[in-house]
Structure 1
Amino acid sequence: RHHRELRHKRQLNNKHEPKFGHSEYQAEVKENIPVQTSIIQ
């Protein structure tokens, strides 16, 4: 089973920061998924 761990932590210094419901998201992503696949909804 091939996968990679993806973590995103929002930056607080962005003037036009997007709105997120949480300060951190975590997901496992398979290495062979198609480009532009939605990972977290």
Structure 2
Amino acid sequence: MASSSGDVMAFLRQAGVVLDAEELPTTPLVEWRGGGPDRWQE
């Protein structure tokens, strides 16, 4: 489970997917449950 957008980006990189931080909220590769990257305080 991720607790920050950085965690999500790291999981994606490990899977061979490289995204810009601006792409993260809208990519269809992530199913946001209970909020999204705007809900986390980094």
Normalised by the length of structure 2, the TM-score is 0.25
Higher strand residue share:
1
Q: TM-score, length-normalised on structure 1? A: 0.25
